[in-house]
Amino acid sequence: MQNKKIVITGGPGTGKSSIINYLESQGHFCLHEISRQITLEAQQQGIKQLFLEKPLLFSEKLLQARINQHQEAVQLPRGQIFLDRGIPDVVAYMDYLGTPYPAKFTLACKNHKYDKIFLLPPWEEIYTSDNERYESFEQALIIHEHLKNSYITYGYNPIEVPKGTVLKRSSFIINSLDD
């Protein structure tokens, strides 16, 4: 039986990591967001915000890391693998910034498919910014639209997760897997 690769995505500050952490605590296999790690590594090399200063380099590093996660998800001995963001997220953020990118980005989106996409909507009440999340809530609204459009462009029908507690949102995701 092939693994089901399930992406949980959404703009910054929508609660993705909280849901991933909860699902993992309940015994589900999860692959975590990797952009913060790339940002921290760049900061250690003296680049304050790689995503803003060198968006294509950041995106190339992120694309390769997400391809690696996708390949890992295919090979894991579990039935359902939850991923904190997917490959189309990389393209969505570059579209948001207006950064041109080579064809390898669109090819990666076409060649590495997921089984379900859950999209978390912007939620101002829980939104916070920090060292790696610099966007304003207004920018998060625009990013949400780019994410939604990116997944639709690559043939997905993102399922919007209603606002609520982490437990309610996680339950919605689990209960929607059989649909």
For residue 126, give the nearest of 26, 48, 19, 28 by alpha carbon: 19
What is the average pLDDT score of the chain?
89
Model confidence over 7-24: pLDDT tens digits?
Answer: 999 988 788 989 999 999
Q: What are the residue boundaries of the structural domains of the chain, listed by start? A: 4-173
pLDDT at 132: 54
Model confidence over 33-59: pLDDT tens digits?
Answer: 888 788 888 888 887 777 777 878 889
Considering the domain 4-173 in this protein, what is its CATH number? 3.40.50.300
d(C-alpha 66, C-alpha 35), whole Å: 9
The distance from CA 135 to its chain's CA centroid, rounded to whole angstroms, is 16
- CB-based contacts of 24: which residues, under 8 Å, 6+ apart? 30, 82
